[in-house]
Amino acid sequence: MSSRMERLLGGRNRRPLRRASEQTDRAAPILKSPREIQLMREAGRIVAKVHAALREVIRPGVSTWELDQTALEVLQKYNAVSAFLGYRGYPANICASINDELVHGIPSKDRILREGDIISVDVGSVYRGFVGDSAWTYAVGEISDDAAELMRVTEASLMAGIAQAVAGNKVMDISRAVQRMVEAGGLHVVREYTGHGVGRQMHEAPQVLNYVGGDADGNYVLEAGVVIAIEPMVQQGTWQTRALRDGWTVVSKDGSLSAHFEHTVAVTNSGPEILTLL
């Protein structure tokens, strides 16, 4: 299989499965013990440390390569490694996606942040065998009202999704909450990329869509010990995306602004716990 094909079929790039024959061999989510969730808390906290450092360095004039270096330094400080570097050949520690770039932007010395940009940074750590995964969209200096609104609604949709990550709910309840929040804001939720279970692997079952629509995992009933990455990807003008020739960078099809907010969340007996916090 070509690497491009593998990317289309695997992990977060996997398109929602629709055919019944494919639905029957969906893997069940891997439940995590309290001890494993403690390790995931530590992996998640390191991701949050990276974001805290990025927030400080993001300003006009900084290259996305410098952001990658900042992330690397923090990961190393806490004895963690990037979950992304080398994943299906991905060449950097983080993803840094500017403006119409939705996800998987590759850091580069040639990409310099400018006043008014928005930048989505996706960070994944591996610490003692477990993955933490969180993305955040940042403003570079002063941004337009429209850009700020896109960021506000996307973050709110993440929080609405997280609120549904409770035992007894279905995965679909998360998807619905995200979609409602986004569409109530007059924005568009991307279909082609999704959230996912997370644990020893970055991408585990279940797939966590950001919209309601006939996927195999939507009916999965959440229980304590499930850990998922919830990650609304939202665009101003269309839900459609397009991949650039570098084979990684995904942009909005119409060139409109994109935002991406993601947390790793554990379903516990006392409700959702966000693992990617300080």
d(CA 120, CA 92): 15
Using CA atoms, how far apart are residues 127 and 118, in angstroms rounded to an integer?
Answer: 29
Backbone angles phi, psi at 4, to 5 degrees: -65, -45
Min dist. Cβ of residue 70 to Co ion (A)? 20
- Binders of Co ion among 130-149, rule CB under 5 A? 133
Instruction: Answer with the entry of ligand MF3, Co ion, none that 29 interacts with (C-beta below 5 to 8 A by kind).
Output: none
Of 37, 84, 121, 267, the one binding ligand MF3 by CB under 6 A: 84
Q: Concatenated DSSP letters for 51-114?
A: HHHHHHH-STT-BHHHHHHHHHHHHHHTT-EESSTTGGG--SSEEEEETTEEE-PPP-TT-B--
Q: Is 229 a residue that touches ligand MF3 (CB under 6 A)?
A: yes
Asked whether position 87 contacts ligand MF3 by CB under 6 A, the answer is yes
The upper half-sphere exposure of residue 83, i.e. CA atoms within 13 Å in the direction of its Cβ, equals 25
Q: Which helix (H) or strand (E) holds 123?
A: strand 118-127
Interface positions, 132-191, toward ligand MF3 (CB under 6 A): 133, 135
The two structure tokens encoding residue 60: 């006009």
Smallest separation (angstroms) from ligand MF3 to the CB of 50? 13
- Is 51 a binder of ligand MF3 (CB under 6 A)? no
Q: How far is the CB of 227 from ligand MF3 (least distance, A)?
A: 13
Residues that bind ligand MF3 (CB under 6 A): 11-12, 84, 87-88, 90, 95, 104, 122, 124, 133, 135, 196, 229
Residues that bind Co ion (CB under 5 A): 133, 229
